[in-house]
Structure 1
Amino acid sequence: YHHTFFEMLGNWSFDDYFKAETIDWAWQLLTDVYGIDPDKLWATVFEGDESDNSEPDHEAATLWSKLTSLPKERILFCGKKDNFWEMGATGPCGPCSEIHIDLGPDRCDMKHIKGHKCAVNAGCARYIELWNLVFIQFNRLQDGTLEKLPANYVDTGAGLERFAAVLQNKKSNYDTDLFMPIINTVSEMSGRKYTSNLDSKTDSAFRVIADHIRTISFSIADGVTPSNEGRGYVIRRILRRAARFGRVLDMHEPFMHKLLPVLVDTMGEAFPEIADRSEFVSTVIEAEEASFGRTLDRGLEIFASAATEAEKSKDKIITGENAFKLYDTFGFPLDLTGLMARERNLDVDNTAFDELMEAQRARARSAQKTASLAMSLSGVSLPETDDSAKFESDTITTKIVGWIGDGTFEQKGTLK
């Protein structure tokens, strides 16, 4: 139920309503409007933190008891990690109150872990967060202390995909009508059947592709194109990851761009920009996928060889040299190599990879400087100089006969 792209629902208050109204309305929407069984719902509130002298949010806990049918044993005090929101090291912040739903014992995905007990914030899929109600009432100062804001604010967030799964009674967000049209199209293209099995590698490929095409398409429509830097590289990595999962479904030709029509049918009404720019988005995706596809199959062969080598080693680690070769020669982002390694219970030597990456950057910087100097001196007859004194003395008085300035060789003027 996690995605690289999701739709956030929410409501805000700027010094208008605060905790009572927020809790009351959230409860009404979930139980009265959406019809969710209140006996399945839990609430968490901030337990306080001695390190910054912040108090427990007793106000929110009291309101949950007063305004809803939740018994006290389903109103939990939890720590800063889950129940205190901050925008950064400094600035507006405050306690939050999360609404969780109990999906039933059969939804636990950690039964194989000895000693595991299902509970809110315990990590298994039985309990999932539906809605986060953030109460912004403090300001974090530079020294880490908190001061009260002159006004109170509310900022809540709920994922549409999780709501859809709960309301449509599906075991996965991907089984809802938000994703199934895309998954069905991939099934038709590949000739493979999606079975909604969370442990199936084939079904995982369907889910990855359905998730990633949304991220890629909206990002490109917003002006982010695949590249080797910044946000462009994030999109390139996501697209290449999806292309690799296409191979799991035995699709060896560019296919992602063919999903644009069904994406537009599914989301184009709410987001007309995806429809307006669909032709451009499709063209960019096809070109990027075709470029990567030319080396992907060979890269997969190299990875298989590197993985076999790692499996025979004591540490079960793919060397940094092999990971770098996959990146440098075949365009495999490190996280893609890491993903495939984990599928075979292997690790990757990220430290050695980073060292090789930095060495390559240093060579590139050096080459750039050399090329720039050579271009500046192209066709220039340099004056003859005597540098023998550098072997005889630590200091010397000399005369400057020329310098590189503004991209040209200069012999007259003033140096500042």
Structure 2
Amino acid sequence: MTSAPSSVGFYLYGALLLLVCALKLPALRRRPRDTLLRAACLLLLSAGLLMILAAPHSIAALNRHSGIPNVAAPVVYVVTTVFSGASLVLIINWRPAPAGQTRRLTRLCLALYGAASLAVVLLFLAGDAPVEQRTLFDVHYARTPCIREMIVLYLCAQGAAMAAASVMCWRWSAKVRGSLRAGLTILSVAYLLIVCFVVLRLCAVAARWTGHDLDFLVDEVSVLLSAPSAVLGALGFALPLAGPRVAETARAVRQFRQLGPLWRALGDVPTPGAVRVPLPWWRNPPAVLLTGRKTALYDAILALTPHCDPQVREAAHEAALRAGRSDGEAARVAEAAMLLVARERRHASPPRPPDAPGRDAGQALDLFALSRAVTSPLVHRIRDQYTPLQKAANHE
């Protein structure tokens, strides 16, 4: 507990939380009455301060520079109590509930945990803790008047808030789906780990009351729960925020790849009336790349419209039906075959008005269905069947 690496870990995680809190301050200035945002900022601030103040080197520095033995204990316990209350307030304001009920519960939590924080300070001032204890303060002063009550108060306040938050997250997770459900489930586990942390410390304190020694629960067992609960807590809050964005990005990447066959078939079609702007993948998000590819494909299809032959579409449609395709699949195969033949005709001759009416340029197209149909061997057979005829006609 007194090694430098452990303190460095506390400081890094605390600094990260404070940085996230600072990034939210502009939004808080714009929406000062947003209770959920205020609760989130309070949670981030208290969590960041808790990690920094609870670092072994910080505890030693607080005790040394203040000149008061164990002054770090009430400081850390007050911040812990504030963090517990902020966690409960955030969950209360986050979950769907009537506005009146949310306001009442928020005010009750703020009043209770504000009073508990003040009581921690007053009990420390009323008690006597002359011997510095950096890691075993709870058990060393478990039978000291006032200090004993301070220890039990902060542990019970923390345990009650974490237990309530865990139950609320678990119940809420049963009513939602997706990343929100996953995040709430993880948060429920994270809060439950903190409850276990509190229970272990209370057991060690109660053991001192009965003359037994279970100090190892404080400095060897309960500390093992700190890192997992912190990591799971951060993941639980981040997942509902990042989950939809990650899912959207994954969907855009998947759809971008699905358009690959159609892009390889039509990507080289000249589109004189449209401007194609290069979109390097390393400088643009997948959603932008997907939009750019879809726009380019629509432009290419529009450029092929003068060369589209309804007779090719009808022949391909009949061939697909004879091959056992459904009417919808046959329509997609027919559309794809007509476009591939039109591409060959576009390459063989300059644009000109068609002798027969082509496809409707305003007709809605399912690019993804077309992209799947382009890979069909039947489409390529139709293309090979009609392309030589057009080439021969051009030579005449």
Q: Place the TM-score, normalised by the shorter chain, in its bin.
A: under 0.3
Is the helix fraction higher in 1 or 2?
2
How high is the TM-score relative to the length of structure 1? Answer: 0.24
How high is the TM-score relative to the length of structure 2? Answer: 0.25
Greater gyration radius: 2
Is the strand fraction higher in 1 or 2?
1
